[in-house]
Amino acid sequence: MTDKVTAPQVRARKGGAKLRMVTAYDAPTARIADRAGADIILVGDSVANVVLGHEDTLAVSIEVMVHHTAAVTRTKPRALVVGDMPWLSYHSSPQETVANAGRLVRDGGAGAVKLEGGRKRLPMIGAVIDAEIPVMGHLGLTPQSLHAMGGYRVQGKEAQAAYELISDAKALEDAGVFSIVLEGVPDVVAEIVTREIGVPTIGIGAGANCDGQVLVFHDVTGLGAGEYVPKFVRSYAHLADDAVAALEAFFSDIDSGGFPSDAETYHMSAESEEILRGLSRASDDILADEAMGS
């Protein structure tokens, strides 16, 4: 059996074989991701809009994230499972941040946590790492900051903003993160960050020069059911369309009486059926006699 992927192993992949990361939010998607050979499974706060129907990621709590992380880790995947820390779970104090990160590990079974933000999050990141919990950073387009950013906008497009992002990446590395997600940044920014820091970068909308790539499971497989797909997404299947076709065929068979077939039906022995039918007829006769007598 292949050894379980750990945060130190991910860090050691810097500059080596590309890291393969994908989201998963429950046991079925986790099993599929692991069978496909994922190195890292991210239980993202994107569960809010991808699975739970919210408009953004701000709606989920630490309780929701623990629930979904535990569903993933119960499958015992080879991949490293990273639990996403949701909005307001790491913004108040280092102590609260450690408690919430600890819940993702203790109750959710995660092998690491991810949180968004640069230098302003260093006290929280340091506290979590001091608690022996590996931390994955996240810079660039950070969805939990959508209101502050004015929406989902590419970050680091201007030289000064790009320089600040590069500085944030170096600060996160110095703080001890084992990897950094770079989301929604120009390819040259991701290229420079990847070259200048000693931990792996994992890109999503950040070009081809990162140490790995990540996408949302439902985007890759086409389970988004016609929802908006960002520019950086490549869908490799159309499972939502396949699922609709399967259900339409099922409903058609219901209408026609073609489902269930005899082969899909449980049967009694002929002897037991004959006895049952005899008892049923006798019961019907008794009820009819009682009705006539009344």
Mean pLDDT in residue range 253-281: 95
Mean pLDDT of the chain: 94
* pLDDT for 1 beyond 50: no
Q: Report the residue count for the chain.
A: 294
Local structure of 80: helix, strand or coil: strand
How wide is the angle at C-alpha 45 spanned by C-alphas 3 and 173, nearest 5°?
A: 60
Residue environment code for 11-46, b if the CB has 16+ CB neighbours within 10 A, otherwise e = bebbeeeebbbbbbbbeebbeebbeeebbbbbbbbb
Mean pLDDT in residue range 129-148: 93
Is the backbone peptide bond immediately before 260 cis, with ω within 30 degrees of 0? Answer: yes
* pLDDT for 286 beyond 80: no
Q: What is the pLDDT of residues 195-231, one digit of tens each?
A: 999 999 999 999 999 999 999 999 999 998 656 778 9
Q: Write down the pLDDT at residue 293.
A: 67
Range with the poorest average pLDDT among 82-86, 139-143, 213-217: 139-143
Which residues participate in catalysis according to the annotation? 183
CA dist list (Å): 196 to 121, 127, 287 = 20, 25, 88
* pLDDT for 2 beyond 70: no
Q: Write down the pLDDT at residue 44.
A: 98
Q: Write down the pLDDT at residue 5.
A: 98
Cβ neighbors of 72 (< 8 A, separation 6 or more) are 24, 25, 26, 27, 29, 30, 41, 43, 81, 109
| Position 86, amino acid | P
Mean pLDDT in residue range 159-170: 97
E strand or H helix that includes residue 203: strand 201-204
Q: Write down the pLDDT at residue 288.
A: 66
Q: Write down the pLDDT at residue 12.
A: 98
144 pLDDT band (50/70/90 cuts)? confident
Range with the poorest average pLDDT among 49-53, 58-62, 110-114, 145-149: 145-149
Q: Write down the pLDDT at residue 294.
A: 56
* pLDDT for 86 beyond 90: yes
pTM, 2 dp: 0.92
* pLDDT for 232 beyond 60: yes
Q: For residue 157, give the nearest of 141, 180, 137, 138 by alpha carbon.
A: 141
* pLDDT for 280 beyond 90: no
Q: What is the pLDDT of residues 89-103, one digit of tens each?
A: 999 999 999 999 999
Q: Write down the pLDDT at residue 181.
A: 98
Q: Are 175 and 129 spatial neighbours (Cβ–Cβ below 8 Å)?
A: yes
146 pLDDT band (50/70/90 cuts)? confident
Q: Write down the pLDDT at residue 153.
A: 86
The DSSP bridge pattern shows strands 212-215 and 40-43 to be unpaired
16 pLDDT band (50/70/90 cuts)? very high
Q: What is the pLDDT of residues 29-56, one digit of tens each?
A: 999 999 999 999 999 999 999 999 999 9
